[in-house]
């Protein structure tokens, strides 16, 4: 979070499955927007705060106010995806413009929002930037998208902060990016997670909800499966979310019967996931 505050562009890189997206969406963004202090995350959660049209201004010499747009995935058409994201989630923005005017439309949307909210910082997350290579086959659009990000940062140097997440093996293909001048200063490497890191990721959100694992050895099994399967963190996130949802289902059924159940994520629920 300190790097994001200090630099307009942060590039979060790491091998596949090291948790880059989770670090940003479930860690940095909620911390900056204050969501992490309002409500504990549920197991597997990656929620970010949305940007209101006219947030409360930050008091002089007071804490900064941050608002995060929903994360942007480049997809096959990154400029269109960007415009659609702003139309849906940046209040006051109009319907996406025709393709010929889409870059000007996006720039105008940021200008309008930043002018209306001069004391608020806006966070844009571009998740899985490797999609610019793997999905977008139009080289001109790839360049235009990155050039637009650079222009937005130049236009709003104190208000706009952008975080990119990118697999390390795709990083060389961004060497000539319009963002190259900012790249190294904002580069942050997410290392592979240790067993202690994995235990904290698994037990932390559950503990925040006053939940435990039954039996406790279920945590060790989850850790072993992640270590033995490269790139398994997204699957771990999904598994924890499903265990939590199954707990909620069992709790609702018990309440209908007037019963109480232990606040546990169980081995039997895990086995039922297949």
* pLDDT tens, residue order, the chain (274 aa): 788 898 999 999 998 888 898 889 988 998 898 864 434 445 555 444 444 444 443 333 346 799 899 999 999 999 999 999 998 888 665 555 555 589 999 999 999 999 999 999 999 999 999 999 999 999 999 999 999 999 999 999 999 999 999 999 999 999 999 999 999 999 999 988 888 988 998 999 899 889 999 999 999 999 998 887 767 777 888 899 999 999 999 999 999 999 989 999 999 999 999 7
> What's residue 52's pLDDT?
45
Domain edges within the chain: 2-189, 195-272
pLDDT in the model for residue 99: 59
What spatial distance separates the first Cα and last Cα of the chain, rounded to whole Å? 37
d(CA 129, CA 199) in angstroms, rounded, equals 28
* Fold topology of 2-189: Rossmann fold (3.40.50)
Neighbouring residues of 161: CB distance < 8 A, sequence distance ≥ 6: 4, 5, 7, 8, 9, 10, 121, 122, 123, 124
Shortest CA distance to 90 belongs to which of 51, 116, 58, 62? 51
Instruction: Tell me how far apart the alpha carbons of residues 220 and 216 are, in angstroms, rounded to a whole number.
Output: 8
CB neighbour class for 233 (10 Å; exposed up to 12, middle 13-18, buried from 19)? buried
Beta bridge partners of 266: 214
């Amino acid at each position: 979070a300190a790097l994001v505050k200090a630099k307009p562009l942060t590039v979060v890189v790491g091998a596949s499955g090291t948790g880059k997206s989770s670090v940003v969406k479930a860690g940095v963004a909620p911390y900056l927007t204050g969501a992490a202090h309002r409500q504990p995350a549920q197991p597997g959660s990656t929620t970010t705060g949305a940007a209101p049209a006219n947030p409360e201004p930050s008091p002089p010499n007071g804490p900064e106010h941050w608002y995060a747009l929903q994360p942007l995935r480049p997809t096959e058409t990154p400029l269109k995806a960007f415009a659609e994201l702003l139309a849906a989630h940046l209040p006051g923005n109009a319907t996406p413009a025709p393709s010929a005017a889409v870059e000007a439309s996006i720039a105008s949307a940021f200008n309008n929002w930043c002018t209306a909210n001069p004391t608020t910082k806006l966070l844009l997350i571009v998740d899985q930037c490797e999609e610019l290579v793997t999905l977008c086959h139009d080289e001109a659009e790839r360049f235009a998208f990155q050039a637009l990000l650079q222009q937005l940062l130049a236009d709003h140097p104190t208000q706009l902060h952008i975080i990119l997440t990118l697999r390390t093996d795709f990083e060389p293909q961004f060497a000539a990016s319009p963002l190259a001048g900012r790249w190294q200063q904002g580069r942050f490497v997410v290392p592979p997670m240790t067993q202690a890191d994995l235990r904290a990721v698994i037990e932390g959100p559950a503990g925040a909800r006053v939940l435990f694992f039954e039996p406790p050895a279920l945590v060790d099994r989850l850790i072993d499966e992640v270590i033995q399967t490269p790139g398994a963190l997204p699957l771990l996130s999904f598994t924890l979310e499903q265990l939590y949802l199954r707990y909620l289902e069992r709790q609702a059924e018990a309440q209908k019967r007037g019963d109480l159940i232990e606040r546990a994520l169980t081995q039997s629920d895990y086995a039922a996931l297949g």
